[in-house]
Structure 1
Amino acid sequence: MDTMVLVMAVVLAVLAWSVYQVRVKRKFGLHKRTQVALAVGLLISVGLFEVDVRFNGWEERASGVAGGRPSGLVWTALGIQLVFAVFAVVLWPVVIVRAARELGSPPLPGAHSVWHRRWAPLAAIGMALAGATSWVFYWLAFAA
Protein backbone atom coordinates (compact mmCIF):
# COMPACT_ATOMS: atom_id res chain seq x y z
CA MET A 1 0.00 0.00 0.00
CA ASP A 2 2.76 2.43 0.92
CA THR A 3 4.51 1.84 -2.38
CA MET A 4 1.37 2.52 -4.42
CA VAL A 5 0.85 5.83 -2.63
CA LEU A 6 4.33 6.87 -3.73
CA VAL A 7 3.89 5.41 -7.23
CA MET A 8 0.71 7.46 -7.76
CA ALA A 9 2.49 10.62 -6.61
CA VAL A 10 5.27 10.00 -9.14
CA VAL A 11 2.79 9.08 -11.91
CA LEU A 12 0.79 12.27 -11.40
CA ALA A 13 3.91 14.45 -11.28
CA VAL A 14 5.31 12.88 -14.47
CA LEU A 15 1.88 13.08 -16.12
CA ALA A 16 1.72 16.82 -15.39
CA TRP A 17 5.27 17.29 -16.67
CA SER A 18 4.43 15.34 -19.85
CA VAL A 19 1.34 17.47 -20.52
CA TYR A 20 3.46 20.59 -20.03
CA GLN A 21 6.01 19.26 -22.54
CA VAL A 22 3.41 18.79 -25.24
CA ARG A 23 1.18 21.81 -24.56
CA VAL A 24 3.82 24.45 -23.90
CA LYS A 25 7.00 23.17 -25.51
CA ARG A 26 5.27 21.18 -28.31
CA LYS A 27 7.53 18.17 -27.75
CA PHE A 28 5.17 15.56 -29.19
CA GLY A 29 7.68 12.70 -29.32
CA LEU A 30 8.75 13.21 -25.71
CA HIS A 31 5.11 13.30 -24.64
CA LYS A 32 4.38 10.07 -26.50
CA ARG A 33 7.39 8.24 -25.03
CA THR A 34 6.56 9.49 -21.54
CA GLN A 35 2.91 8.42 -21.76
CA VAL A 36 3.81 4.94 -23.00
CA ALA A 37 6.43 4.55 -20.25
CA LEU A 38 3.91 5.73 -17.63
CA ALA A 39 1.28 3.32 -18.89
CA VAL A 40 3.67 0.36 -18.85
CA GLY A 41 5.08 1.30 -15.44
CA LEU A 42 1.65 1.79 -13.93
CA LEU A 43 0.39 -1.47 -15.43
CA ILE A 44 3.27 -3.36 -13.82
CA SER A 45 2.86 -1.54 -10.48
CA VAL A 46 -0.89 -2.09 -10.31
CA GLY A 47 -0.44 -5.73 -11.34
CA LEU A 48 2.05 -6.34 -8.54
CA PHE A 49 -0.18 -4.43 -6.13
CA GLU A 50 -3.18 -6.58 -7.04
CA VAL A 51 -1.16 -9.77 -6.54
CA ASP A 52 -0.10 -8.51 -3.09
CA VAL A 53 -3.67 -7.62 -2.13
CA ARG A 54 -5.01 -10.96 -3.37
CA PHE A 55 -2.42 -12.99 -1.47
CA ASN A 56 -1.97 -10.85 1.65
CA GLY A 57 -5.25 -8.93 1.88
CA TRP A 58 -5.56 -5.45 3.29
CA GLU A 59 -8.50 -5.56 5.68
CA GLU A 60 -6.61 -7.14 8.57
CA ARG A 61 -3.82 -4.59 8.12
CA ALA A 62 -6.19 -1.62 8.13
CA SER A 63 -6.07 0.60 11.17
CA GLY A 64 -9.15 1.91 12.87
CA VAL A 65 -11.01 -1.33 12.41
CA ALA A 66 -14.14 -2.05 14.41
CA GLY A 67 -14.52 -5.68 15.38
CA GLY A 68 -11.70 -6.67 13.05
CA ARG A 69 -13.33 -5.06 10.00
CA PRO A 70 -12.76 -1.72 8.27
CA SER A 71 -15.42 0.92 8.91
CA GLY A 72 -18.15 1.87 6.47
CA LEU A 73 -16.29 5.09 5.73
CA VAL A 74 -13.24 3.09 4.61
CA TRP A 75 -15.41 0.95 2.32
CA THR A 76 -17.09 4.06 0.92
CA ALA A 77 -13.71 5.65 0.20
CA LEU A 78 -12.59 2.44 -1.49
CA GLY A 79 -15.74 2.36 -3.63
CA ILE A 80 -15.25 5.96 -4.76
CA GLN A 81 -11.59 5.29 -5.49
CA LEU A 82 -12.48 2.25 -7.58
CA VAL A 83 -14.91 4.27 -9.70
CA PHE A 84 -12.17 6.73 -10.66
CA ALA A 85 -9.54 3.99 -11.01
CA VAL A 86 -11.70 1.94 -13.39
CA PHE A 87 -12.55 5.09 -15.38
CA ALA A 88 -8.84 5.92 -15.73
CA VAL A 89 -7.83 2.33 -16.49
CA VAL A 90 -10.38 2.14 -19.30
CA LEU A 91 -9.92 5.60 -20.83
CA TRP A 92 -6.16 6.17 -20.54
CA PRO A 93 -5.15 3.14 -22.67
CA VAL A 94 -7.78 4.06 -25.28
CA VAL A 95 -6.31 7.56 -25.56
CA ILE A 96 -2.76 6.20 -25.78
CA VAL A 97 -3.54 3.49 -28.35
CA ARG A 98 -5.58 5.82 -30.54
CA ALA A 99 -2.85 8.46 -30.40
CA ALA A 100 -0.18 5.90 -31.29
CA ARG A 101 -2.22 4.75 -34.29
CA GLU A 102 -3.47 8.10 -35.52
CA LEU A 103 -0.78 10.68 -34.73
CA GLY A 104 2.01 8.90 -36.58
CA SER A 105 5.66 8.38 -35.85
CA PRO A 106 7.04 10.82 -35.08
CA PRO A 107 3.76 12.09 -33.62
CA LEU A 108 2.48 15.29 -35.17
CA PRO A 109 -0.80 17.17 -34.89
CA GLY A 110 -3.38 16.01 -37.42
CA ALA A 111 -7.02 15.11 -37.88
CA HIS A 112 -6.98 12.98 -34.72
CA SER A 113 -5.75 15.89 -32.61
CA VAL A 114 -9.28 17.24 -32.06
CA TRP A 115 -10.39 13.90 -30.55
CA HIS A 116 -7.17 13.65 -28.53
CA ARG A 117 -7.49 17.17 -27.10
CA ARG A 118 -11.03 16.34 -25.97
CA TRP A 119 -10.41 12.92 -24.39
CA ALA A 120 -6.81 13.11 -23.15
CA PRO A 121 -7.62 15.77 -20.52
CA LEU A 122 -10.51 13.62 -19.27
CA ALA A 123 -8.14 10.66 -18.97
CA ALA A 124 -5.62 12.82 -17.09
CA ILE A 125 -8.33 14.15 -14.77
CA GLY A 126 -9.51 10.58 -14.19
CA MET A 127 -5.96 9.56 -13.30
CA ALA A 128 -5.59 12.54 -10.95
CA LEU A 129 -8.89 11.70 -9.23
CA ALA A 130 -7.87 8.04 -8.97
CA GLY A 131 -4.65 9.15 -7.30
CA ALA A 132 -6.31 11.63 -4.95
CA THR A 133 -9.02 9.20 -3.88
CA SER A 134 -6.43 6.45 -3.37
CA TRP A 135 -4.64 8.73 -0.93
CA VAL A 136 -7.92 9.38 0.92
CA PHE A 137 -8.60 5.64 1.11
CA TYR A 138 -5.03 4.98 2.26
CA TRP A 139 -5.27 7.62 4.97
CA LEU A 140 -8.64 6.38 6.24
CA ALA A 141 -7.67 2.70 6.16
CA PHE A 142 -4.06 2.80 7.30
CA ALA A 143 -3.19 6.14 8.88
CA ALA A 144 -6.25 7.58 10.63
Structure 2
Amino acid sequence: MDAMVLVMALVVVVLGWSVHQVRSKRKFGRHKWAQILLAVGLLAAVVLFETDVRFNGWEDRAAGVVGGAASTAVWTALTVHLVFAVFSVVLWPVVIVRAARNFGAPPHPGAHSAWHRRWAPVAAIGMTLTAVTSWIFYWVAFVA
Protein backbone atom coordinates (compact mmCIF):
# COMPACT_ATOMS: atom_id res chain seq x y z
CA MET A 1 0.00 0.00 0.00
CA ASP A 2 2.75 2.42 0.96
CA ALA A 3 4.53 1.86 -2.34
CA MET A 4 1.38 2.61 -4.36
CA VAL A 5 0.94 5.92 -2.52
CA LEU A 6 4.41 6.90 -3.70
CA VAL A 7 3.87 5.49 -7.20
CA MET A 8 0.70 7.54 -7.62
CA ALA A 9 2.53 10.68 -6.46
CA LEU A 10 5.20 10.00 -9.09
CA VAL A 11 2.52 9.39 -11.73
CA VAL A 12 0.89 12.76 -11.04
CA VAL A 13 4.24 14.60 -11.17
CA VAL A 14 5.36 12.89 -14.39
CA LEU A 15 1.92 13.35 -15.94
CA GLY A 16 2.05 17.07 -15.20
CA TRP A 17 5.60 17.32 -16.56
CA SER A 18 4.57 15.45 -19.70
CA VAL A 19 1.59 17.73 -20.34
CA HIS A 20 3.85 20.74 -19.81
CA GLN A 21 6.31 19.35 -22.38
CA VAL A 22 3.66 19.15 -25.09
CA ARG A 23 1.65 22.28 -24.27
CA SER A 24 4.39 24.78 -23.47
CA LYS A 25 7.42 23.41 -25.29
CA ARG A 26 5.76 21.49 -28.13
CA LYS A 27 7.98 18.47 -27.36
CA PHE A 28 5.63 15.90 -28.87
CA GLY A 29 8.12 13.01 -28.84
CA ARG A 30 9.03 13.61 -25.19
CA HIS A 31 5.34 13.70 -24.29
CA LYS A 32 4.68 10.48 -26.21
CA TRP A 33 7.46 8.53 -24.52
CA ALA A 34 6.64 9.89 -21.08
CA GLN A 35 3.05 8.70 -21.52
CA ILE A 36 4.11 5.28 -22.78
CA LEU A 37 6.60 4.82 -19.93
CA LEU A 38 3.98 5.99 -17.42
CA ALA A 39 1.44 3.53 -18.80
CA VAL A 40 3.86 0.58 -18.76
CA GLY A 41 5.21 1.46 -15.31
CA LEU A 42 1.77 2.00 -13.84
CA LEU A 43 0.49 -1.23 -15.38
CA ALA A 44 3.35 -3.15 -13.75
CA ALA A 45 2.77 -1.44 -10.39
CA VAL A 46 -0.99 -2.10 -10.50
CA VAL A 47 -0.50 -5.77 -11.43
CA LEU A 48 1.92 -6.22 -8.51
CA PHE A 49 -0.39 -4.29 -6.19
CA GLU A 50 -3.50 -6.22 -7.20
CA THR A 51 -1.63 -9.52 -6.86
CA ASP A 52 -0.61 -8.53 -3.32
CA VAL A 53 -4.15 -7.46 -2.42
CA ARG A 54 -5.70 -10.62 -3.88
CA PHE A 55 -3.30 -12.95 -2.01
CA ASN A 56 -2.81 -10.99 1.22
CA GLY A 57 -5.90 -8.79 1.46
CA TRP A 58 -5.88 -5.31 2.91
CA GLU A 59 -8.52 -5.38 5.63
CA ASP A 60 -6.22 -7.01 8.20
CA ARG A 61 -3.60 -4.33 7.56
CA ALA A 62 -6.06 -1.45 7.98
CA ALA A 63 -5.52 0.77 11.01
CA GLY A 64 -8.02 -0.66 13.48
CA VAL A 65 -11.10 -0.24 11.28
CA VAL A 66 -13.51 -2.76 12.74
CA GLY A 67 -16.93 -1.29 12.12
CA GLY A 68 -19.23 1.64 12.49
CA ALA A 69 -18.61 5.06 10.97
CA ALA A 70 -14.91 4.38 10.40
CA SER A 71 -15.70 1.30 8.36
CA THR A 72 -18.30 3.22 6.35
CA ALA A 73 -15.75 5.95 5.61
CA VAL A 74 -13.20 3.37 4.45
CA TRP A 75 -15.63 1.60 2.12
CA THR A 76 -16.96 4.90 0.79
CA ALA A 77 -13.42 6.13 0.09
CA LEU A 78 -12.58 2.82 -1.62
CA THR A 79 -15.74 2.93 -3.74
CA VAL A 80 -15.09 6.48 -4.91
CA HIS A 81 -11.47 5.57 -5.67
CA LEU A 82 -12.53 2.53 -7.69
CA VAL A 83 -14.93 4.61 -9.79
CA PHE A 84 -12.06 6.88 -10.87
CA ALA A 85 -9.59 3.99 -11.17
CA VAL A 86 -11.83 1.96 -13.47
CA PHE A 87 -12.63 5.05 -15.54
CA SER A 88 -8.89 5.75 -15.90
CA VAL A 89 -8.01 2.14 -16.69
CA VAL A 90 -10.48 2.25 -19.57
CA LEU A 91 -9.87 5.75 -20.97
CA TRP A 92 -6.11 6.29 -20.54
CA PRO A 93 -5.05 3.30 -22.70
CA VAL A 94 -7.56 4.32 -25.37
CA VAL A 95 -6.05 7.81 -25.50
CA ILE A 96 -2.49 6.43 -25.62
CA VAL A 97 -3.19 3.79 -28.28
CA ARG A 98 -5.13 6.20 -30.48
CA ALA A 99 -2.35 8.77 -30.18
CA ALA A 100 0.34 6.20 -31.00
CA ARG A 101 -1.60 5.09 -34.08
CA ASN A 102 -2.62 8.52 -35.36
CA PHE A 103 0.16 11.00 -34.64
CA GLY A 104 2.89 9.41 -36.74
CA ALA A 105 6.60 9.04 -36.10
CA PRO A 106 7.91 11.39 -35.01
CA PRO A 107 4.62 12.57 -33.49
CA HIS A 108 3.19 15.83 -34.78
CA PRO A 109 -0.22 17.55 -34.79
CA GLY A 110 -2.68 16.31 -37.36
CA ALA A 111 -6.25 15.22 -37.96
CA HIS A 112 -6.33 13.33 -34.66
CA SER A 113 -5.38 16.43 -32.63
CA ALA A 114 -8.95 17.63 -32.04
CA TRP A 115 -10.01 14.27 -30.58
CA HIS A 116 -6.83 14.11 -28.47
CA ARG A 117 -7.25 17.66 -27.13
CA ARG A 118 -10.77 16.72 -26.01
CA TRP A 119 -10.10 13.32 -24.40
CA ALA A 120 -6.49 13.50 -23.18
CA PRO A 121 -7.29 16.14 -20.53
CA VAL A 122 -10.25 14.05 -19.38
CA ALA A 123 -7.93 11.04 -19.04
CA ALA A 124 -5.31 13.13 -17.20
CA ILE A 125 -7.92 14.50 -14.81
CA GLY A 126 -9.23 10.97 -14.28
CA MET A 127 -5.73 9.71 -13.48
CA THR A 128 -5.15 12.62 -11.09
CA LEU A 129 -8.46 11.95 -9.34
CA THR A 130 -7.50 8.27 -9.15
CA ALA A 131 -4.33 9.30 -7.33
CA VAL A 132 -6.08 11.75 -5.01
CA THR A 133 -8.82 9.28 -4.09
CA SER A 134 -6.19 6.56 -3.50
CA TRP A 135 -4.47 8.87 -1.01
CA ILE A 136 -7.79 9.56 0.71
CA PHE A 137 -8.52 5.84 0.92
CA TYR A 138 -5.00 5.17 2.21
CA TRP A 139 -5.35 7.86 4.85
CA VAL A 140 -8.78 6.72 6.04
CA ALA A 141 -7.93 3.00 6.02
CA PHE A 142 -4.30 2.88 7.11
CA VAL A 143 -3.39 6.11 8.91
CA ALA A 144 -6.42 7.66 10.66
Q: TM-score, normalised by structure 1?
A: 0.97
Q: Quick check: 1:84–1:126 contact (8 Å CA) kept in 2?
A: yes
Tell me the distance in 2 between the aligned counterparts of 1:64 and 1:97: 42
Residue of structure 1 in register with 2:17 after alignment: 17
Tell me the distance in 2 between the aligned counterparts of 1:100 and 1:55: 35
Q: After superposition, what is the alpha-carbon deviation per residue over 1:106-138, rounded to whole angstroms, capped at 9, x for unaligned?
A: 000000000000000000000000000000000
Tell me the secondary structure at the aligned position of residue 106 of structure 1. Answer: coil
Tell me the secondary structure at the aligned position of residue 87 of structure 1. Answer: helix
User: 1:64 Cα deviation (Å)?
Assistant: 3.1
Query: Is residue 81 of structure 2 the alignment partner of residue 72 of structure 1?
Result: no
Aligned residues: 142
User: 1:66 Cα deviation (Å)?
Assistant: 1.9
Residue of structure 1 in register with 2:33 after alignment: 33
Residue of structure 1 in register with 2:82 after alignment: 82
Tell me the distance in 1 between the aligned counterparts of 2:100 and 2:9: 25
Out of 70-79 and 110-119, give the one that drifted further.
70-79
Residue of structure 2 in register with 1:133 after alignment: 133
Amino acid of the structure 2 residue aligned with 1:90: V
Q: Quick check: 1:64–1:71 contact (8 Å CA) kept in 2?
A: no
Q: CA RMSD in A?
A: 0.8
Tell me the distance in 1 between the aligned counterparts of 2:66 and 2:81: 21
Tell me the distance in 2 between the aligned counterparts of 1:125 and 1:18: 13
Q: After superposition, what is the alpha-carbon deviation per residue over 1:74-118, rounded to whole angstroms, capped at 9, x for unaligned?
A: 001000000000001100000000000000010000000000000
Which runs of no fewer than 5 residues in structure 2 stay unpaired?
none
Tell me the distance in 2 between the aligned counterparts of 1:44 and 1:38: 10
Tell me the distance in 2 between the aligned counterparts of 1:96 and 1:64: 40
Q: Quick check: 1:95–1:119 contact (8 Å CA) kept in 2?
A: yes
Q: After superposition, what is the alpha-carbon deviation per residue over 1:49-80, rounded to whole angstroms, capped at 9, x for unaligned?
A: 0000011100011013126xx70110010000
Percent identical pairs in the alignment equals: 73
Tell me the distance in 2 between the aligned counterparts of 1:19 and 1:140: 30
Tell me the distance in 2 between the aligned counterparts of 1:64 and 1:122: 36
